[in-house]
Amino acid sequence: MGLLILMLVFGVGVVIGMPVAFAMGIAAASSFWYEGFPMLITFQRATAGVSVFSLLAIPFFVLAGEIMLHGGIAVRLVKLASALVGHLKGGLAMVNIFSSMLFGGISGSAVADISALGSILVPVMKERGYRPDFAVNVTVTSSIAGIVIPPSHNMIIFAVAAGGGISVSGLFLAGVVPGMLMCFSLAIAAYILSIKHGYPAEPFPGWREVGRSAADAIPGFFTAVIIVGGTLSGIFTVTESGAFGAIYAILLTTFYYRTLTFKSFITALTGTVRTTSMVMILIAFASSFAYLLALYQVPERLSNALVLISDNPIIILLMINVILLILGMIMDMAALILICTPIFLPIAKGLGMDPTQFGIMMLMNLGLGLCTPPVGTCLFVGCAVGKIKIEQALKSIWPFYLAMLGALILVTYVPAVSLWLPENLPVFTAWVKSFFS
């Protein structure tokens, strides 16, 4: 009965439009009250959930991304991508995807990717004869790279939700190949569609312009190098790397690029406070919620239910993927990471899947939910930027869905895709240490 109350109150809260964090908090408090526990336990579990040192990295990661967003780095990355791949068929689509791969590695946010790059590239693509829905779909789906390619604050959330023992450095490395694989899959889909619709290629600007664009963009890209490299080398903790990355971003955009104004700095700080507050509230109440899930033995019950359906690891992983995809369509990504990790991670580990591989699979899976209605945040933002209706975008987005699903299947069933770099972490760490020393 306690589990029924927990899920019923939570479900009603979500359906009536209550913020997910508050729905989880009220549901947890209701179950604690039913079980006769002191209500204080709800807040004790919530406080314990956010009393984790590594969570301090999240506001620094978000701040670095916001500074890059409002400091003009996106424009420089677009110029570099245009110089490198703009001459291919459907060149601006390739520029869009390649820019997302570069900017995603700096901002770590899909929504920031769409806001920064979409506002630049979607109008230009429409002027050059690209269909509005095609331009929006390329922007929306490629933005998911920001979730998978490091640094990503969602990786820290997953590490915390997993209960510790998972290396954030390992997650950073594990996301590189899957993120690039996803972008290349989307590029192939965009290239085929560009040939079908006769979209133009941009003129090649020459290698001198490529070098000039690279020289202008590389200092901004070093924000990600500092964060990821500092963590991998062991010189900084994850939190310290985020702090140094944010400081570097502020100094770079203020004194080198001279594009960060006081107004844009305040805007970046406001965005950082808003995002960090939302994430921390989610983590706090999700801790109380997850405590009750463990108390009611939900992971064990779900595991037994899945085994009754099939004992084939391939089928079970497929079912987990389908469940995550469906949940990703109706709930916020951070909340799902916090709720689903304690449930599905033990099942995946029981099947012999590495926790790091499962983390990347989950992030890619839930990233798809950001592109899917009814709660597809990235899809809504992309359609707003492109000034088209969601129905118009959905009619032609399926080739990009298929491309991302193909990459997800490879990550799910081919461990080397996500684990090759982490397994070679000692070699990579030694190289990074020699680079920084």
* pLDDT confidence of residue 276: 84
The answer to whether the CB of 182 falls within 8 A of the CB of 364 is yes
* pLDDT confidence of residue 12: 87
Q: How far is it, in rounded angstroms, from Cα 239 to Cα 222?
A: 17
Which ranges of the chain have pLDDT less than 70?
104-109, 112, 116, 374-375, 425-437
Q: How far is it, in rounded angstroms, from Cα 182 to Cα 105?
A: 14
Q: How far is it, in rounded angstroms, from Cα 348 to Cα 146?
A: 25
Amino acid present at 285: F
Q: 198-213 pLDDT, tens per residue?
A: 888 778 888 888 888 8
* pLDDT confidence of residue 403: 93
pTM of structure: 0.84
* pLDDT confidence of residue 66: 81
| Count of alpha carbons within 13 angstroms of residue 18, beta-carbon side | 17
Q: Rounded to the nearest 5 degrees, what angle is found at the Cα of 70, between the Cα atoms of 90 and 185?
A: 30
SS3 per residue for the chain = CHHHHHHHHHHHHHHCCCCHHHHHHHHHHHHHHHHCCCCHHHHHHHHHHHCCHHHHHHHHHHHHHHHHHHCCHHHHHHHHHHHHHCCCCCHHHHHHHHHHHHHHHHHCCHHHHHHHHHHHHHHHHHHCCCCHHHHHHHHHHHCCHHHHCCCCHHHHHHHHHCCCCCCHHHHHHHCHHHHHHHHHHHHHHHHHHHHHHCCCCCCCCCHHHHHHHHHHHHHHHHHHHHHHHHHHHCCCCHHHHHHHHHHHHHHHHHHHCCCCCHHHHHHHHHHHHHHHHHHHHHHHHHHHHHHHHHHCCHHHHHHHHHHHHCCCHHHHHHHHHHHHHHHHHHCCHHHHHHHHHHHHHHHHHHCCCCHHHHHHHHHHHHHHHCCCCCCCHHHHHHHHHHCCCHHHHHCCCHHHHHHHHHHHHHHHHCHHHHHHHHHCHHHHHHHHHHHHC
Structure tokens at 247: 């400081």
Q: Rounded to the nearest 5 degrees, what angle is found at the Cα of 293, between the Cα atoms of 3 and 33?
A: 55
Q: 216-246 in b/e burial notation, b at 16+ Cβ within 10 A?
A: ebeebbbbbbbbbbbbbbebbbbbbbbbbbb
Q: How far is it, in rounded angstroms, from Cα 109 to Cα 102?
A: 12
The answer to whether the CB of 333 falls within 8 A of the CB of 366 is yes
* pLDDT confidence of residue 15: 80
* pLDDT confidence of residue 18: 81
Torsion of CA 279, 281, 286, 289, to 10 degrees: -170
Q: How far is it, in rounded angstroms, from Cα 278 to Cα 285?
A: 11
Q: 219-262 pLDDT, tens per residue?
A: 887 877 787 777 777 777 888 888 888 898 899 888 888 888 88
Q: 331-383 pLDDT, tens per residue?
A: 778 888 888 888 899 889 988 899 999 999 999 998 888 888 766 778 887 88
Residues 6 or more apart in contact with residue 405 via CB below 8 angstroms: 368
Structure tokens at 266: 């305040």
Q: Rounded to the nearest 5 degrees, what angle is found at the Cα of 85, between the Cα atoms of 95 and 192?
A: 75
Residues 6 or more apart in contact with residue 58 via CB below 8 angstroms: 153, 156, 157, 242, 276, 279, 280
* pLDDT confidence of residue 90: 81
Cα 134 to its chain centre, rounded Å, is 22
- The single residue listed with the structure tokens 């921390």 is 280
Q: How far is it, in rounded angstroms, from Cα 104 to Cα 148?
A: 8
Q: How far is it, in rounded angstroms, from Cα 233 to Cα 433?
A: 5
The answer to whether the CB of 151 falls within 8 A of the CB of 238 is no
End-to-end Cα separation, the chain, in angstroms? 59
Q: How far is it, in rounded angstroms, from Cα 19 to Cα 98?
A: 34
Amino acid present at 24: M
* pLDDT confidence of residue 225: 78
